């Protein structure tokens, strides 16, 4: 319903749309960093990237619940790896990544379960509620992983700032609704950490810096126009709130798969 579109929701959507989503527009620069440097190679990269993007959307249309579950798992992995990289340590990779990823996703859901599942219903269907009774399992796993993270911090001093950060994030998740909680993390924690790491390596390793600026601007503007166009199409059959939710989160899912393959499985192996 249109009543769902509150001022806070509008702010959240705008922040995701204009700050969060465009950070993926740097994937052209990432592709250049990892070897797609000439025109033919870059066109090949775009083809693979867009093919995965449209395959995810197609899969979501036919298997929405499975797609949502996969998206959650991918997001746990992607967010976690980004946060682990920020510590600049070579050990505890999986423990730290798992703790951060689980804390972000299931921390938000835990403190806002009913609202989160309403969003999930918009993205899938009412059958998603069948899974709600099992969510005590990831909650418990998340709690145990945080305790283990605290234990590791006794041996690795760099992790101690992570305890403060995780505590602060959990406080944010407790205070704010799921959409704003996700927005705050996605735009001001994840995007900042990702771009800080990436821009440093672009400056050190990529000579054609104009290409980075132009490609990022082009991809950003295209994503905005495509997103707005899809919202306009969907709003013919859904509320504005539901239409924007679908574009933001299904679009994020479609972008996360190629973005994750590029960043987590190619880029991070070369630029730790």
Most confident of 17-31, 92-106, 188-202, 235-249: 92-106
DSSP letter assigned to residue 158:
G
Q: In degrees, to the nearest 5, what angle opens at C-alpha 220 toward C-alphas 218 and 226?
A: 100
Instruction: Give the three-class secondary structure for 176.
Output: coil
Average pLDDT (115-120) is 95
- Token representation of residue 142: 């998340």
Distance CA 143, CA 158 (A): 21
* pLDDT tens digit sequence for 47-102: 999 999 999 999 999 999 999 999 999 999 999 999 999 999 989 999 999 999 99
pLDDT (mean) for 18-44:
86
Q: Where are the alpha helices (DSSP H) in 131-190?
A: 136-153, 160-175, 178-185
pLDDT digits (tens, 9 = 90+) for 141-173: 999 999 999 999 999 999 999 999 999 999 999
**What is the rounded distance in angstroms from the CA atom of residue 168 to the CA atom of residue 176?**
12
3-state helix, strand, coil in the chain (%, to 5): 90, 0, 10
Query: Are the C-beta atoms of residues 146 and 99 closer than 8 Å to each other?
Result: yes
- By CB neighbour count within 10 A (0-12 exposed, 13-18 middle, 19+ buried), where does 121 fall? middle
Polymer length in residues for the chain: 272
Residue 1 has pLDDT above 60, yes or no: no
Check whether 122 has a pLDDT greater than 90: yes
Instruction: Give per-residue pLDDT as tens, 223-237.
Output: 889 889 999 999 999
| pLDDT score at 161 | 96
Residue 88's SS3 state is coil
Its sign, for the CA torsion 27, 28, 33, 35, is: positive
Domain regions of the chain by residue span: 2-270
Question: If we measure between CA atoms, which residue out of 95, 115, 257, 262 comes closest to residue 174?
Answer: 115
Express each pLDDT in 3-18 by its tens digit: 467 899 999 999 998 8
Q: What are the backbone angles phi and psi of residue 35, rounded to the nearest 5°?
A: 130, -10
**Are 171 and 187 contacting, i.e. CB atoms less than 8 angstroms apart?**
no
Residue 107: band (very low, low, confident or very high) from pLDDT cuts 50, 70, 90: very high
Tokens describing residue 62: 């036919």
């Amino acid at each position: 319903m249109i009543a769902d579109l509150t001022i806070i929701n509008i702010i959240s959507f705008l922040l995701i749309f204009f700050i969060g989503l465009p950070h993926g527009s740097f994937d052209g620069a990432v592709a250049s960093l990892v070897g797609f440097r000439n025109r033919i190679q870059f066109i090949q990269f775009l083809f693979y990237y867009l093919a995965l993007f449209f395959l995810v959307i197609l899969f979501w249309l036919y298997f929405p619940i499975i797609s949502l579950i996969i998206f959650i798992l991918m997001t746990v992995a992607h967010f976690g790896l980004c946060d682990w990289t920020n510590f600049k340590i070579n050990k505890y990779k999986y423990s730290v990544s798992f703790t951060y990823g689980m804390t972000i996703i299931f921390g938000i859901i835990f403190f806002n379960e009913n609202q989160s599942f309403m969003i999930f219903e918009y993205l899938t269907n009412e059958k998603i509620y069948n899974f709600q009774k099992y969510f005590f399992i990831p909650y418990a796993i998340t709690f145990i992983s945080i305790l283990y993270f605290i234990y590791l911090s006794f041996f690795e001093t760099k992790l101690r700032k992570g305890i403060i950060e995780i505590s602060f994030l959990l406080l944010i998740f407790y205070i704010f609704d799921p959409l704003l909680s996700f927005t705050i993390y996605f735009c001001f924690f994840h995007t900042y950490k990702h771009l800080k790491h990436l821009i440093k390596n672009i400056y050190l390793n990529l000579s054609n810096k104009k290409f980075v600026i132009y490609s990022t601007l082009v991809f950003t503007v295209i994503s905005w126009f495509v997103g707005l166009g899809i919202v306009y199409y969907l709003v013919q059959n859904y509320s504005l709130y539901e239409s924007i939710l679908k574009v933001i989160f299904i679009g994020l899912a479609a972008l996360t798969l190629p973005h994750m393959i590029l960043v987590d499985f190619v880029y991070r192996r070369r630029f730790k």
